[in-house]
Amino acid sequence: MLVGAEDTLFNGERLLTNQFIENGPYKFIMQGDCNLVLYNNDKPLWSSNTPGHGNSCNLLLQNNGNMVIFSDSDVIWSSSTSRGPNIYRMVVQSDGNVVTYGGATWASNTVQKQSKTKINIDPLF
């Protein structure tokens, strides 16, 4: 796990190989195969589709709001969300969506529907 906030990555911080941020059942992990994946328990919800594209990969949330996966010094994926200098944070939300804030710049678009519990009440006679 990443040291610091469990569900948040701040600009200038990295997820190194096998590090993750999480919220409840949702885990956003930089895997050893260089694939960045969001899981709901063991079910993948989103992926950067970058397995096998490098080694010693890491994700960096840059100071301009752009998320970049590096293999050594080579860029293998980018969110293409440069917005200029600001204070950004990427959050794994409790609804399963991963969002970069500082002006919303990127989202995984993986909001999960919350199940509603139906309560049956017997009528009083």
Distances (CA, A) of 77 to 24, 54, 66, 70, 112: 26, 11, 10, 7, 25
Residue pair 112/48 in contact by the 8 Å Cβ criterion: no
Q: What is the pLDDT of residues 4-63, one digit of tens each?
A: 569 999 999 999 999 999 999 999 999 999 999 999 999 999 999 999 998 889 999 999
Q: What is the pLDDT of residues 96-121, one digit of tens each?
A: 999 999 866 678 889 887 655 444 44
- What's the rounded Cα separation, in Å, for the pair 48 and 35? 6
- What's the rounded Cα separation, in Å, for the pair 51 and 58? 12
Question: Is the CATH number 3.40.309.10 carried by domain 8-100?
Answer: no
Enumerate residues 6+ apart whose C-beta is below 8 A from 55. 34, 71, 72
Q: What is the pTM of this model?
A: 0.79
